[in-house]
Amino acid sequence: MSAAESPLELTGEQLRALVDAAMDRIAPHIDSLPQQPAADVAGGAELARSLAEPLPLRGCSLNEVFDLVFDRLVPKSFNTAGPGYLAYIPGGGIPHAAVADMIADAVNRYVGVWVAAPGLAQLESNVVRWFCEIVGYGANSAGFLTSGGSLANFSAVVAARRTLLPDDFLTGTIYVSDQVHHSVQKAAMLAGFPTEAVRVVGSDGLFRIRLDELERCIGEDRLAGRAPFLIVGSAGTTNTGAVDDLAGLADLAEHHGMWFHVDGAYGGFFLLTDRGRAAMRGIERSDSVVLDPHKGMFLPYGTGSLLVREGAALRRSHTVNADYMPPMQDEEDLVDFCQVSPELSRPFRGLAVWLPLKLLGIEPFARGLDEKLDLALWASEQLKSIDGIEIVAEPQLSIVAFRLSCPGLCSDALNDLNRDFLARINSRQRVYLTGTMLADRFTIRICVLSFRTHMDRMELCIEDIRRAVRELRR
């Protein structure tokens, strides 16, 4: 078979036609994001089941496939890229990164080992170095880009375990707050720890880990023969955006000879702002930090990062050699990503971070993050002016948590009322908010982090909240 006969081998011209056809769908989709519903998954199960089909033996037309994806499937989803997405942790997905991903996939170079693409590997190394500088780590630091925060937390737990514990590590104990993201518990589980190895410490009135309780737990566990080795702090919890006392945690970890890891998956990039840097004082003293570009740098889903202050620890905990592999780099400044991370073959994630930063510089990102801090504060002030609304957590970063109070209602009834309240806010489909449980209280969160969310959408959000309150008061 010749290349011309294989539908797998596109010429440059054929590829251009394919990309142009895709762009004909993508461009109107992007332009209409603000008008699309903030979330619409009604009938999702029927839709999903209707798609099951046998493995296709022959291809179908491009239009048929694009119609299915753009007209039927994309609209049935949370509009995670739109300005009204204030749920969970948004980000938005800057299109520059989509173009970078297309380039990375089209050239399909191998960046798992340095020798296969030295220059491209260096671009990714530059990104890691920039992130280390944002955190305040020195020249010995190292890191890598992951698929997201969960995998980054996993590698952090493995690095801490292999640095501080023997091969028989089951008495090792990890300390987290009751507000920590569940990916840390999952990381401990995947790293081989039993459930009881993760000690959950209470949080204070601002949802920050209680240092006194942490210190007491560490002391008790030592006496009981356990091996406390890892403290995890949060630089922005998922529930409320609370930032732990990172300097206090650094002191404790240092005092007890423990590894101090900071989960900054949501909040870490606020270090680019004055307010964020002040809130996260002490982060530079941690042993490792997770930052998620697909949150705070507004990238599309698929890029997280782990940064480690003493890079040698990361390398020691992730290196395995094999005879069939090419020679690895001994020089400090040249990185084989397979030796500092769990993956061998991997996408060239670095380009999706590097290209937007090179094209735009860091300033628009810092400005965007500052704007999100302002919008969350503004929302909090507006909420306070609505009769019956109680602020459960003031913004420490870009999340505000609130609920409707109603004297005389028991706690279950009040939780149900707030679930109804949330459904009413979301029913206009101009914003999409989600809830969480805070000390047994169902609480609604507004998380402002999409680069597409500005004051106009926040005004709609407050308008929909006021309207829902009025409906419930009727």
Task: Tell me which residues touch ligand PLP (CB under 6 A).
Answer: 89, 148-150, 181, 183, 238, 263, 265-266, 292, 304
CB of 217 to ligand PLP, least distance (A): 21
Q: What's the rounded Cα separation, in Å, for the pair 108 and 102?
A: 9
CB of 446 to ligand PLP, least distance (A): 15
CB of 17 to ligand PLP, least distance (A): 35
CB of 234 to ligand PLP, least distance (A): 6
Nearer to ligand PLP, 89 or 446 (CB): 89
Q: What's the rounded Cα separation, in Å, for the pair 358 and 117?
A: 19
DSSP E strand boundaries for 343-447? 389-393, 399-404, 434-438, 441-447
CB of 144 to ligand PLP, least distance (A): 14
H helix count then E strand count, the chain: 16, 13
Nearer to ligand PLP, 180 or 218 (CB): 180
CB of 256 to ligand PLP, least distance (A): 24
Residues 6 or more apart from 157 whose CB is under 8 A from it? 174, 184, 187, 188, 191, 193, 230, 261
CB of 428 to ligand PLP, least distance (A): 25
Q: What's the rounded Cα separation, in Å, for the pair 455 and 434?
A: 20
Q: What is the DSSP string of 92-113?
A: ---HHHHHHHHHHHHH----SS
CB of 148 to ligand PLP, least distance (A): 3
Taking alpha carbons only, the member of 239, 186, 242, 182 closest to residue 210 is 242
Parallel/antiparallel/unpaired status of strands 77-78 and 172-177: unpaired
Q: What's the rounded Cα separation, in Å, for the pair 92 and 235?
A: 20
CB of 202 to ligand PLP, least distance (A): 18
Nearer to ligand PLP, 26 or 200 (CB): 200
β-sheet bridge partners, residue 436? 443
Nearer to ligand PLP, 82 or 304 (CB): 304
Nearer to ligand PLP, 122 or 179 (CB): 179
Q: What's the rounded Cα separation, in Å, for the pair 161 and 101?
A: 34
Nearer to ligand PLP, 148 or 172 (CB): 148
List C-alpha distances in Å: 117 to 108, 112, 120, 131, 194: 10, 9, 5, 21, 40
DSSP state at residue 69: I
β-sheet bridge partners, residue 143? 307
Parallel/antiparallel/unpaired status of strands 39-40 and 441-447: unpaired
Nearer to ligand PLP, 150 or 203 (CB): 150
Residues 6 or more apart from 300 whose CB is under 8 A from it? 91, 93, 94, 97, 98, 101, 294, 352
Nearer to ligand PLP, 287 or 292 (CB): 292
Nearer to ligand PLP, 149 or 368 (CB): 149
